[in-house]
Chains A and B, each alone.
Chain A
Amino acid sequence: MIARDRVSKLTANLILAAIGVLFVLPLLWVLFASVNRTAGLRVELPTSPTFENFRAVLNTDTTYRPVLNGIVLCGGAALLTMVCAVLAAYPLSRFKTKFNRPFLLTVLFCTGLPITAVMVPVYGLFVQLNLVDTLGGTIMFMATASLPFAIWLTKTFMDGVPISLEEAAWVDGAGNMQALYRIVLPLMWPGIAVVLIFTFIGMWGNFFVPFMLLLSPERLPASVSIFTFFGQYGEPNYGQLAAYSLIYTFPVLVLYLLLSRKLGGAFTMGGAIKG
């Protein structure tokens, strides 16, 4: 029995390690290539590591402005999503009305709709409303696209805050918004952080929406401007592309680590989705 257990544990470890290596190989490429001045397409240890590639891409046009655009775009949209989601989740979580169930079902239904499919009509709508190539319009659309999921998650987290504390506050004469702001939000800040960070990470990686709705190079976020590496100059500089990819990935990596260390993020998410 014990011998069999040991064999099965060994097999499990071996299979897992093999899969892990397959997942790591492409990641190793970007790490090695970023410090290799003559990087090619295969994983190879750089003979003389250099920060030349990073120095080459760290300028306003290539890195600073697209990253800043990305922060404005995704940060603005994530905040807008969060404010709307909290406001919407509060009555849904606290007051039982006939309206709740159909609304929540609609929200859940919307989380399933392929946003990609909506993009052509959205572009049409943006042309009519004169919103093409504006940061404001793009922020509002990105916020809307992630709103259904954010409302759903926020409501799930809010349901976990006991209502008795608010009832006490109501008795003391606090209004609903006051109770939400002073009692519910402080109690559910980990949930808020999870929703906010996940919304931001999703937006930061989103390519299609800004690609369609923004046109001027000076407004493009990092997810779209990465295409300029494949410009008219033929073979791109893979080392610089790798360095830029790392810089662009860095913020979401930090946020993700924050999430999983401090808040047990991934598993909370898994639990909430499994829901």
Chain B
Amino acid sequence: MLPLAPAIGLMLVFLAGPILYCIYAAFTNMALTGTGAANVQFVGLDNFRKAFGSSAFTNSIWLTLVFTLLSAIIGQNTLGLGLALLMRRSSKLIRNFVGTAVIGAWVLPEVVAAYLLSAFFNDEGTLNVILHKVGLPGQDWLYAAPIIAVSLANIWRGTAFSMLVYSAALSEVPKEIEESAEMDGAAGYKRLVFVTLPMISRAIFTNLMLITLQTLSVFGLIYAMTRGGPGTKSQTLPLYMYEQAFSFSQIGYGTAIALVMLLIGAVFSLIYLRGLNQEAA
């Protein structure tokens, strides 16, 4: 068991340590400046009471839900599945072109992707040029609909992952089964819903869990695009936590929010583990 020591050591100090520290600090008034800096005191559930009573916190919870639902569960997942399905019957040239473009967006570093899409959604950006060409009014999307813009950005950046997972899963569905379903008269969407999708249900489940967990903790993309603004219109939970802990120096309150995020992540992670276990059994 000795070879496990370095990994366990690192994980104890830099992963378990912070989590325990988080559980401790979340119940204190710890701060970077002021009273909480000099003399840290236990304040019980005050931080949580403050959070759930604050409109900024509930706002960020809502935005996180909208962001996750729009960009991960609806956007990346559906688009990724759609791409994987369409690619099976497209010509090789188109398949390579689309695959390269989608994966290209995925390989880009987070902040670079954020800048490309800021330019795209800007008042003078490419999206508005296209909209004007077809006679639709344009606007500064980052200002008018920031949460939609960052959600679309996350779809652009993250779809490749779902596409790859679904391509791999679909390549393992035996052709004969789909063909015989077609013989029996199951056409188009029926074949998809009753034959193909059930056969890759495990991949769908895994993918949904993983992209949800990734999307819950997106920070750099939103921070570089809007800084959570204008106002707090795109301030998801990670950005709110960052603002409270560092701009306002309230470490105790910030860690309380971190603990809420960790709990949400832990719940999803457990559901994911259970699902894997049941499939295996």
- Chain A interface residues toward B at CB < 8 A: 8-9, 12-13, 15-17, 19-20, 23-27, 29-30, 33, 40-43, 83-85, 87-88, 90-92, 97, 99, 103, 105, 108-125, 140-141, 143-145, 147-148, 151, 176-177, 201, 204-208, 211, 222-223, 226-227, 238, 241, 245, 248-249, 252-253, 256, 266-267, 269-271, 273-275
Contact = CB atoms under 8 A, between A and B. Distances in A.
A112 B274 CA distance: 13
Given A119-B242, A121-B258, A270-B165, 5 more contacts: A114-B216, A117-B22, A223-B110, A223-B220, A267-B164
A269 B112 contact: no
A223 B224 CA distance: 11
Interface string B233-266: 0000010011001000001001101110110111
Max count, chain B CB within 10 A of own CB: residue among A33, A97, A208, A223: A208
Interface string B63-92: 000000000000000010001001101110
Contacts of B107: 201, 249, 252-253, 256
Max count, chain A CB within 10 A of own CB: residue among B1, B202, B216, B272: B1
17 contacts: A19-B83, A20-B97, A26-B105, A27-B116, A41-B122, A92-B4, A108-B273, A113-B265, A113-B266, A114-B238, A115-B217, A116-B261, A117-B261, A124-B25, A125-B18, A144-B13, A207-B109
Interface stretch (B43-51, B53-61, B173-181, B203-211): B203-211
A223 B219 CA distance: 13
B143 to A, nearest CB: 14
B102 A23 contact: yes
Contact of A120 (B110, B122, B254): B254
A261 to B, nearest CB: 13
B202 to A, nearest CB: 7
Max count, chain B CB within 10 A of own CB: residue among A122, A211, A248: A122
Query: Main SS of chain A's interface residues?
Result: helix
A81 B73 CA distance: 31
A267 B168 contact: yes
B46 to A, nearest CB: 17
A249 B108 contact: yes
B6 A83 contact: yes
Contact of B98 (A8, A23, A147, A245): A23
B219 A143 contact: no
B7 interface: yes
Nearest to B98: A20
Nearest to B20: A121
B193 interface: no
Contacts of A207: 109-111, 219-220, 223-224
A141 B224 CA distance: 23
Contacts of A9: 89-91
A12 B86 contact: yes
Given A9-B91, A148-B11, A124 B122 contact: no
Contacts of B129: 42-43
B251 A124 contact: yes
A43 to B, nearest CB: 5
Interface of B: 1, 3-4, 6-8, 10-11, 13-15, 17-19, 21-22, 25, 30, 79, 83, 86-87, 89-91, 94-95, 97-98, 101-105, 107-112, 115-117, 119-120, 122, 124-126, 128-129, 156, 164-165, 167-169, 202-203, 206-207, 209-210, 213, 216-220, 223-224, 238, 241-242, 245, 251, 254-255, 257-259, 261-262, 264-266, 268-270, 272-273, 276
A148 to B, nearest CB: 7
Nearest to B166: A270
A236 B37 CA distance: 38
A248 B98 contact: no
Contacts of A144: 10-11, 13-15
Contacts of B165: 270, 273-274
Nearest to B270: A109
A41 B112 CA distance: 14
Contacts of B128: 42
Contacts of B111: 205, 207, 223, 226-227
B226 to A, nearest CB: 13
Contacts of B269: 109, 111-113
Nearest to B15: A144
Contact of B86 (A15, A118, A148, A248): A15
A29 B6 contact: no
Nearest to B9: A84
B103 A121 contact: no
Given A113-B269, A124-B25, A16 B86 contact: yes
B119 A23 contact: no
A43 B272 CA distance: 42
B7 A87 contact: yes
A158 to B, nearest CB: 12
Contact of A245 (B105, B115, B164, B220): B115
Question: Ordered nearest first, which 7 A-B pairs have the shortest CB separation?
Answer: A112-B269, A270-B168, A114-B217, A207-B220, A205-B109, A116-B217, A117-B261
